Copies of this chain bind each other. A is one copy, B any other.
């Protein structure tokens, strides 16, 4: 193996970023504010403080401060799993016979198995600092719930997780990791909340959705003394915390003297993509550098490529504020054949605005081709990727093959957000040749668009 650069690049602990980067500070058009669904007016800090921790509300509403210091306790926790490696995919390049140089930032080397821990520890820290008893949240595929359980165990906070019922049943091991970290895990929709009982009554036998679980978690937070709600994606505060991914990637590439041509991330609610691209997008917005930035989403949940840019509810139960985002409608639930995460109906307001302004490209890919990429990656690079991350792998491979056809030695960087240890039911379906693809029809999408609020 001829190496230009090390196979893995680690920053030292001293080189760990001391502050998160707030991309909004460099956006000329700021993301649209959250609205109070009752009044149609922007949510105030006071209103949001009922649901979220105070410091996190400040971060949510702060469109101006470019760098926000990372508290020492969070930096200490980060040292358990950060800096994460930036890997040069020499073996994948070799297998593809491409002149492209492929790099990936691997966020899966922690027990929660994904990048979600970056924001979980920040949110748990601020909850503890505010003197709260506990937090509530929802989880779908389970990455976020696991990450939050770990963070809460560390800071000795109660952690109540509403887990989408079909995941709760299909992923008992995910549930068990959360329990090992002391979390209380409830299948959603449950009978514990008003909104859960209502959804169960209206849709008997439903196996739940992320939108329902959010509604339940928010209700559980606001009706309990000393609890707040926390969310693992979509919100601007989450993108802020996840900027650690991009800051480390940026610093490592700089050390290697490598300038990326294209940066690729999978996109569900936007937590990973928004974090990975943050400092690069900042340079792009400030006119200091240019990069192609590609969001990859499932063809079965295509919010960027087929959604509308409009105000919509963040949850099925309509208990949350309205957000302006690319959305498939708050009632949209991906087909049962869809494996893994990236199943949220909307997309971060920050990323939605940037996409609308043309700073981001988007591609939708079908899951069979995603798992083909996952298998090739696993066999060559030795890491079993999460289905979510494999969306980015699919497009990274496609880009590398384009470079091969064009004879170009471009630098391709993608985010490998997590591992697939808890997604083996999906792998089994792929290994058995039983995986299918699903693309929603225009009629299905139109039916959901029709139910969106009109503002």
Question: A residues near B, CB below 8 A?
Answer: 1, 6-8, 10, 12-13, 72, 76-77, 79-81, 91, 109-111, 113, 150, 153-154, 172-173, 176-177, 179-182, 375, 378-384, 419, 421-422, 424, 427-428, 431
Contacts and interface: CB of A to CB of B under 8 A. Distances in A.
B13 A431 contact: no
B382 A424 contact: no
B379 A153 contact: yes
25 contacts: A1-B72, A1-B76, A7-B79, A7-B80, A8-B79, A10-B10, A80-B383, A81-B382, A111-B378, A111-B382, A153-B378, A154-B382, A172-B424, A172-B428, A173-B173, A176-B424, A176-B431, A177-B384, A179-B428, A179-B431, A180-B384, A180-B427, A180-B431, A182-B379, A421-B422
Cβ-closest 10 pairs across A and B: A7-B79, A173-B424, A153-B379, A176-B424, A421-B421, A80-B382, A111-B384, A1-B76, A176-B428, A179-B431
Nearest to A80: B382
B180 A375 contact: yes
A83 to B, nearest CB: 9
A428 B421 CA distance: 17
Contacts of A91: 80, 154
Copies assembled: 2
A256 to B, nearest CB: 13
Nearest to A111: B384
B13 A8 contact: yes
A244 to B, nearest CB: 16
A94 to B, nearest CB: 10
Contacts of A380: 154
The residue in A79, A113, A422 that gathers the most chain B C-beta atoms within 10 A of its C-beta is: A79
Nearest to A76: B1
A428 B177 CA distance: 9
Contacts of A173: 173, 421, 424
Contacts of A176: 424, 427-428, 431
The residue in A154, A172, A379 that gathers the most chain B C-beta atoms within 10 A of its C-beta is: A379
A111 B383 contact: yes
A101 B182 CA distance: 27
B180 A378 contact: yes
Contacts of A424: 172-173, 176-177
A8 B80 CA distance: 8
A340 to B, nearest CB: 15
Contacts of A375: 180
Nearest to A117: B382
Contacts of A422: 421
A419 B154 CA distance: 19
Contacts of A154: 91, 379-380, 382
A135 B418 CA distance: 31
Contacts of A10: 10
Contacts of A421: 113, 173, 177, 421-422
A6 B12 contact: yes
A177 to B, nearest CB: 6
A153 B382 CA distance: 9
